[in-house]
Amino acid sequence: DGGITQSPKYLFRKEGQNVTLSCEQNLNHDAMYWYRQDPGQGLRLIYYSQIVNDFQKGDIAEGYSVSREKKESFPLTVTSAQKNPTAFYLCASSRGDDYGYTFGSGTRLTVV
Amino acid sequence: AQSVTQLDSQVPVFEEAPVELRCNYSSSVSVYLFWYVQYPNQGLQLLLKYLSGSTLVESINGFEAEFNKSQTSFHLRKPSVHISDTAEYFCAVELSGGYNKLIFGAGTRLAVHP
């Protein structure tokens, strides 16, 4: 079955360390997205990519970086510059037409 | 720019009662509208969407939403809820035409009590 896989499901890191969250899709979707979810704030867009080797900043890109070297993969790095990295991170993909997004099951990052 | 307002952060309701989750959006251009559902510690699942045509759209599990252009609303309703409907619900808007960003509301937590 096609879908989006995010790993790991739970991640703990010490303050000041960079950490990379994985997102892989086998839906042959062109576009991929990273959202951050905090209680009471809904989902906020971090980065998105519409084609391989190209990506754009979303609303809260500071302290994050991404790459899109393959169509299937869109990893997110949370750097030490991110002031408050503890959150639930969701990856999504879309065909780019009117079918909406498909979401992964998320990664809960806790920085201690 | 587009924005989405979900008017209730929490909605408690008893099992088998009707429920309405309210969503208003702002946009000066044509948009697509979506409702997603999120169960604890999971990703979002598409519940239903409005693209064009009939203003009333339905999901397979009894939810429906009506697009009201004059009131810029897309409220979600269910005539009789179940315990299993307890979840967080997100309204979202996307510029029509494809390859555009989804803008989400803050979410409404539906709590169904026995």
* Residue pLDDT, tens place only, B61-107: 899 999 998 899 999 999 999 999 999 999 999 877 656 788 899 99
Strand partners, A7: A22
With residue B37 as reference, give the H or E element that holds it: strand B31-38
- Looking at residue B68, what is its pLDDT? 92
Phi, psi of A56 (to 5 degrees): -130, 150
Instruction: Choose from B8, B48, B99, B109 for mutation: most chain A CBs within 10 A.
Output: B99
A58 contact residues in B (CB cutoff 8 A) = 101
Which of A5, A37, A41, A47 to mutate to probe the B interface, most B CBs <10 Å? Answer: A37
Q: pLDDT 10s per residue in chain A (112 long)?
A: 679 999 999 999 998 899 999 999 999 999 999 999 998 778 999 999 999 999 999 999 999 999 999 999 999 999 998 889 999 999 999 987 666 789 999 999 999 8
Instruction: Enumerate the β-bridge partners of residue B21.
Output: B76
Cβ separation A98–B101 shorter than 8 A? no
Query: Is the minimum CB–CB distance between B105 and chain A shorter than 8 Å?
Result: yes
The answer to whether B85 and B112 are in contact (CB under 8 A) is: yes
Report chain B's mean pLDDT, rounded to a whole number.
91
Local structure of B85: helix, strand or coil: helix
What's the CA dihedral at B23, B24, B27, B33 to 10 degrees?
20
Distances (CA, A) of A79 to A17, A75, A82: 7, 13, 6
A79–chain B nearest CA distance, Å: 23
